[in-house]
Amino acid sequence: MIIGVDLGGTKILTAIADSEGKILASVKIDTEARLGPEKVIANIIRSISLAAKQAKIPMSRVSRIGIGVPGPVLGQAIIVSPPNLPGWKNINIKAILHKKLNKKIFIENDANAAAYGEFRFGAGKGFRNLVYMTVSTGIGGGIIIDGKIYTGALGTAGEIGHMIIDPKGPKCGCGNHGCLEALAAGPAIARMAGTKNALDAELAARNGNIKALKSIKMAARSIGIGIANLNNILNPDIFVIGGGVSNMGDLLLSPVKVTAKECSMEASGKSLIIVPAKLKNNAGVMGAIAVCMDARHGGDE
Ligand SMILES: [Zn+2]
């Protein structure tokens, strides 16, 4: 049996699955991030035993636990300094959980885990090279090359939301100007549309509000340019778009596709496929499970 954990800034989603990745039970509890790392780690452990209990599986039958975490991961073990988890700095969560649970532990960045989930079980099933983009309050991503998560030199690869699209654009949380995230994530759409959030912008656009419609088109154009850049460089088999904002469907995705095709080079544009994510909120937890299923070695401290 395998347990997958999707550690978020507000919720911990944990699922237990059999060796084929079939989910037997899942639980969702509060992260309580403001109470600091010790409490969060205790909550992770609690969610794990709750999931096992709900599936009526004794913990002795669980061999591997995979965890998607919201921030850069060093050496598949250390969480560097996640923006959504106050007080966390260079915590070796793999070593801590291995010691407390005595299971093989696999740590992955949450967007990478979601990319892997879509690759193994979702919209990217059957492809070898995939770029996953999640558009919500931020823009994150994961890159799968030849069936493997591409992590880069330090493990920080896949930050496609911080690709600079317009150097004269609005300031981004990372300190740069005109990152894709600053131009096209939920808050950017709301800012351009003059609405409370991206959902209100969507409703206004569907009711014919020109300003809201324009804002979504501008965000879509930035996403399309980002995809064209990635397509020219990586030429993946498929782009999978997830995250809350992508629930707008074709309102967002149709103009994304037009721009991505238009801005791709002719040769790389020929293979361009852009599809919505399939696993929705389960992508991260399914990815954490898939990472455990496919790992040949490792997991021990
Ligand atoms: Zn940025």
Helix (H) / strand (E) element for 113: namely helix 110-121
pLDDT at 299: 75
Ligand 1 geometric centre to CA of 180 (Å) = 7
Give me ligand 1 centre to Cα 11, in Å: 24
- Residue 64 CA to ligand 1 center (angstroms) comes to 34
Q: Assign residue 201 a region (left: φ > 0; alpha: ψ between -120 and 50; beta: otherwise).
A: alpha
**Per-residue tokens: 82:** 């996640």
Q: Mean pLDDT for each 10-residue chunk of the chain (301 residues)?
A: 95 96 96 95 98 97 95 87 87 96 95 96 97 94 96 89 97 95 97 97 98 98 98 97 95 98 94 95 96 84 61
pLDDT of residue 261: 97
CB 201 within 8 A of CB 190: yes
| Integer Cα distance of 234 and 229 in angstroms | 9
Contact of 130 with 119, CB cutoff 8 Å: yes
Element (H, E) at 13: strand 11-17
pLDDT for res 301: 61
Chain segment 11-27, per-residue pLDDT in tens: 999 999 999 999 999 99
Alpha carbon distance 267, 116 (integer Å) = 27
Alpha helices in the chain (DSSP H): 37-54, 93-101, 110-121, 180-184, 186-193, 198-206, 210-234, 250-263, 266-269, 283-294
For 22-71, how does the pLDDT look when each residue is reduced to its tens digit (9 = 90+)? 999 999 999 999 999 999 999 999 999 999 999 999 999 999 999 999 98
Smallest CA-to-CA distance from 123 within 272, 279, 289 is with 279
- Gap from CA of 177 to ligand 1 centroid (Å): 7
Helix/strand/coil for 5: strand
What pLDDT shows up at residue 193? 98
Residue type for 22, please? K
Tokens for 199, please give them: 């959902």
Spacing, Cα 296 to ligand 1 middle (Å): 35
Torsion of CA 153, 155, 159, 162, to 10 degrees: -60
b (16+ CB within 10 A) / e for 271-289: ebebebbbbeebbbbbbbb
Pairing of strands 274-276, 91-92: unpaired
At 81 the pLDDT is: 81
Cβ-proximal residues to 110 (8 Å cutoff; 6+ apart), any chain = 6, 7, 8, 68, 69, 70, 140, 284
Q: How far is it, in rounded angstroms, from Cα 88 to Cα 129?
A: 33
Distance 41 CA to ligand 1 centre (A): 29
In 3D, which of 220, 76, 254, 60 has the Cα closest to residue 148?
76
Ligand 1 center to residue 43 CA distance, Å? Answer: 31
CA of 158 to the centre of ligand 1 (A): 13
Q: Which two tokens stand for residue 182?
A: 């600053």
- The Å distance, Cα 50 to ligand 1 centre, comes to 37
Amino acid sitting at position 169: G
CA of 199 to the centre of ligand 1 (A): 22
- Centre of ligand 1 to C-alpha 215, Å, is 19
Question: How far, in Å, is the centroid of ligand 1 from the Cα of 95?
Answer: 31
